[in-house]
Amino acid sequence: MSAERKIRVVMFCGGRGASNISTLFAKHSQTELTLLINAYDDGLSTGRMRAFIPGMLGPSDLRKNISLLIPQSGDHHKALKTILEYRLPRGFSRNKALGAIAPFVKWQEPGDPVLAPAFWDLSLRQAKSIQSYLTAFLDYEQKQFDKGNIFDFGDCSVGNILFAGCYLVNGEDFNSTVAAFEKFAEIDGKVLNITDGQNLVLTALTVNGDFLVDESTIVSGDDPQPIRELFLLPKYLTANQIKKLDKMELEERISWLRKKEVMPQPNPNAIAAIGDADLIIYGPGTQNSSLFPSYLTKGIPDAIIANDQAEIVFIANIMQDYDIPNQTVQTLLHNLAFNMAHKGDNRNLSQLVTRVFTQTPDLSNINRPDRDGYLKFDTDAIQLDPSMILSLDWEDSAGTHHGGQLVDALLSIMLQLVDVKIHPYRHMVSIIVPVLNEAPTLSKVLRDLGQLDFSRFEVGKEIIMVDGGSTDGSLDKAKAEKYTRVFSLEDEKGRGAAMRLGIEKARGNVIAFFPADSEYKTEDLYKVVAPILENQYRAVFGSRPLKYTEVSQFDENIQNVYGTSRINSMISKYGGMLVSYLTLLLYNRYISDLFSTVKAYDGPLLKSLKLHSSGVDFESEVVAKLSRKQSFILEVPVHFRPRTKAAGKKMTIRDGLKMVLSLIIHRMRDWDRVAKS
């Protein structure tokens, strides 16, 4: 495989259930994303739109995903996204609705305060397309109005109105409309309707035989019974047909509906995308409306099975909800295979799925909210190799997946399978705060860290506090910070042990360390992590000496710590210099401040070091192993306000000696390794 070729990713998804995964793949410069979506949605305004323009499938899920994949690199992109996602207020009259959107047709500023600024930021091409689509829809709407067919604009997204106009402009060809609309939106990636565009109605039977008349009823949650079977019908059942169905026994109902159902033909572009894919993903979401119906499309399972080179990953929902009550991961997998088999053909699950990602809540997180309803999973109940099942804590907020963590895991799998060097896509900074008896300052530090905003780098953050056995109430203070993930060392103690546990728990692919003692400014983390986020360096240390333009300033800081103890002051100053020269002598790297506690690393690099130190010698081990990997360490100046011994300063001469000894021992091990080889 050429190192220049992108990894082709195909994902089955619905509205926004997999949005945190798809947006990250779309932004990654080395992936080529295609989303496969069914358009059976008929809820709320989408259902009204389908009834208003007979023959058209539901635009909502396609429009939502197209909107999600609009790049945000220019003001015109942001403006278009604002317009597509804007919903006319509920209960809006026809005249008010026309007053809000009709000015686009005349190239006039809309009176709406949200749409008006977006109008001025549109590109000329975008404005022309909006004018064309709105003109087509409003002409159609006027003709229907004259016939007495009134369209309710209330709670309707402008994006759906534009999509409907695009449908009319494109000769009422649904798949051509999708292609034209995504071109209009200039999206990163592709969005495809999975079928040939035939207008079908999604219905279902529950396990106790209740008939759910349409897609909106299926997703409403009004009937708590699990879905027994889905049916795609050419049109809605009449009242008389439903009465007839109600008189039948369950199996008779199933047989009757199966005779009426239609297995849709596929979109040829969807078949081609599956055949070319390196990675196929069954995304999470509303399974019975967004995902299972897509699998009923003819040719889809055969295309998946025929692509024997692709990795095929099933990402299970995190929790049960109204769509999948009393379900387990294995029942979802069973239903996937059942619908892929088109309710009759034998389909071996191992042909359709090569890996399963499932949720295991991290119970060691002391601040984890108490929640029930996680999907259970019995690995013995499915026909898959247990080694192909990855069970981790994927949860970001309640019931939603952490997209960056998933994309990292998926790309790590692809690294093993394809001959492409994949550059990291930064999605989150994990800030690890090791703590031992820092109650006076801990709350302020955690809150200040919580105020940091990395959105300028287009990444998120998480704060991980690891307690090393505090006896002053530090752990209780951390528990009060609900956005902090809190862990406590059990058997092993020491600063290094706390940092290693933090690394193990980190979900970001940039890992930073920050102390709980208020000696450093939290804002300095921006410049410490920035070179890593920009993929310039993989290890960055905050340096206190670099901050001072004069030696006397640094000496004064040391004196503030040790007061009148001249011996301790000199040991601190010259001991630090000795360590710096020692790193230069042993590792050909002059590190001005190895004792700094503000540092950041490329996450995968740090985890690959396989660190073992439990005390302050952790820092020496990191430097030694980075040297072994020939990784350059950048140092940047950071502010430092030292505290005294009386205020809780913990670093001792003994700690310094341990670091010196550790540097020497690791270097000798390297020499010994070279000699033996």
- Among candidate residues 133, 155, 187, the one where a domain is terminated: 187
Please tell me the distance from the alpha carbon of residue 532 to that of residue 540, in angstroms, as a whole number: 8
Residue 200 near residue 40 (C-beta atoms within 8 A)? yes
Per-residue pLDDT tens digits for 333-348:
999 999 999 887 667 8
30 lies in a domain? no
Q: pLDDT band for position 549 (50/70/90)?
A: very low
- Residues 299-322 have a mean pLDDT of 94
Q: Among 127-141, 374-388, 479-493, 545-559, which stretch is predicted with the lowest mean pLDDT?
A: 545-559
pLDDT score for 383: 74
> For position 293, what pLDDT does the model report?
97
Confidence category of residue 136, pLDDT binned at 50, 70, 90: very high
Instruction: Please state the rounded mean pLDDT for residues 175-193.
Output: 97
497 touches 468 (CB < 8 A): yes
Candidates 163, 136, 155; CA nearest to 58 is 163
Tokens of 338: 């059942």
How many folded domains does the chain comprise? 4
The residue length of the chain stands at: 677
Burial 102-116 (b: 16+ CB within 10 A, else e): ebbbeeeebebeebe
Domain check: are 548 and 584 in the same one?
yes
Phi, psi of 365 (to 5 degrees): -75, 110
- Which residues pair with residue 542 across a beta bridge? 636
Taking CA 474 as the corner, what is the angle to CA 361 and CA 394, rounded to the nearest 5 degrees? 15
CB neighbours of 100 closer than 8 A, spacing ≥ 6? Answer: 88, 92, 110, 111, 112, 115
* Residue 25 lies inside a defined structural domain of this protein: no
Which tens digits make up the pLDDT trace of 378-417? 877 777 888 899 999 988 877 788 888 999 999 988 888 8
Tell which of 220, 241, 260 closes a domain.
260
Reported as a single tens digit per residue, the pLDDT across 340-370 is 998 876 678 889 999 999 999 898 999 988 8
Secondary structure (3-state) at 634: strand
- DSSP sequence for 283-328: --S-IIIIIHHHHTSTTHHHHHHH-TTSEEEEE--SB--TTSTT--
**Beta-strand relationship, 460-467 and 484-488:** parallel
Q: Quick one: tokens of 673? A: 């390794």
400 and 512 co-located in one domain? no
Same domain, 297 and 251: no
At residue 184, what is the residue type? F
Strand order across the 428-435 sheet: 484-488, 460-467, 428-435, 510-513, 599-602, 539-543, 634-637
Q: Give the pLDDT band of residue 550 (cuts 50, 70, 90).
A: very low
Please tell me whether residues 475 and 541 are part of one structural domain: yes
Residue-range definition of the domain harbouring residue 400: 268-417
pLDDT, position 78: 95
Same domain for 299 and 347?
yes
Instruction: Please state, in angstroms and rounded to a whole number, the distance separating the CA atoms of residues 53 and 94.
Output: 17
Checking if the pLDDT of 154 tops 90, the result is: yes
pLDDT of residue 2: 45
Are 267 and 197 spatial neighbours (Cβ–Cβ below 8 Å)?
Answer: yes
Give the span between the Cα atoms of 609 and 615, in whole angstroms. 16
pLDDT score, position 565: 45
Residues 240 and 280 in one domain: no
Q: Are residues 453 and 509 in the same domain?
A: yes
Q: Tens digits of per-residue pLDDT, 473-513?
A: 999 999 999 889 999 998 778 899 999 999 999 999 999 99
Would residue 12 count as lying in a domain?
Answer: no
Q: Does residue 367 sit in the same domain as residue 500?
A: no
Q: Is the pLDDT of residue 571 over 50?
A: no
Q: Please give the pLDDT value at position 568.
A: 45
Q: Is the distance from CB of 289 to CB of 215 less than 8 angstroms?
A: yes
Q: Is the pLDDT of residue 605 over 80?
A: yes
User: Is residue 563 scored above 50 in pLDDT?
Assistant: no
pLDDT at 575 over 80: no
- The three state secondary structure string of 524-572 is HHHHHHHHHHCCCCCEEEEECHHHCCCHHHHHHHHHHHHCCCHHHHHHH
Q: 402 and 273 in one domain?
A: yes
**Residue 578: per-residue pLDDT:** 73
Find, among 425, 430, 362, 432, the residue nearest to 395 by Cα: 362
Could you give the C-alpha distances from 555 to 243, 484, 561, 563, 638, in angstroms and in order? Answer: 90, 36, 10, 11, 16
**Same domain assignment for residues 301 and 326:** yes
For the cut 70, the answer to whether the pLDDT of residue 553 exceeds it is no
Helix axes 60-68, 158-169, angle to 10 degrees: 110
Taking only the tens place, the pLDDT of each residue in 619-637 is 889 999 998 888 899 999 9
320 and 380 both lie in a single domain: yes
Is 20 a domain residue? no
Q: What is residue 675's predicted lDDT score, i.e. its pLDDT?
A: 58
Question: Which of 67-71, 308-312, 440-444, 562-566 shows the lowest per-residue confidence on average (mean pLDDT)?
Answer: 562-566
> What does the alpha-carbon distance between residue 258 and residue 299 come to, in Å, rounded to a whole number?
19
Determine the Cα angle at 217 with ends 211 and 219, to 5°: 120
More confident residue, 374 or 574: 374
- Co-location of 468 and 408 in the same domain: no
Q: What is the dihedral of CA 580, 581, 585, 590, to 10 degrees?
A: 50
For all residues of the chain together, what is the average pLDDT? 89
Q: Which of 260, 286, 305 is the last residue of a domain?
A: 260
Question: Which residues have a Cβ under 8 Å from the Cβ of 15 and sit 6 or more positions away?
Answer: 41, 60, 61, 64, 65, 285, 286, 290
Domain membership of residue 196 (yes or no) is no
Q: What is the pLDDT of residue 562?
A: 45
3 state SS of 93: coil
| DSSP state for residue 76 in the 8-state scheme | H
pLDDT of residue 195: 98
Q: Is residue 137 pLDDT above 70, yes or no?
A: yes
Task: Label residue 4 by pLDDT band (50, 70, 90).
Answer: low
Task: Report the Cα–Cα distance between both ends of the chain, in Å, rounded.
Answer: 33
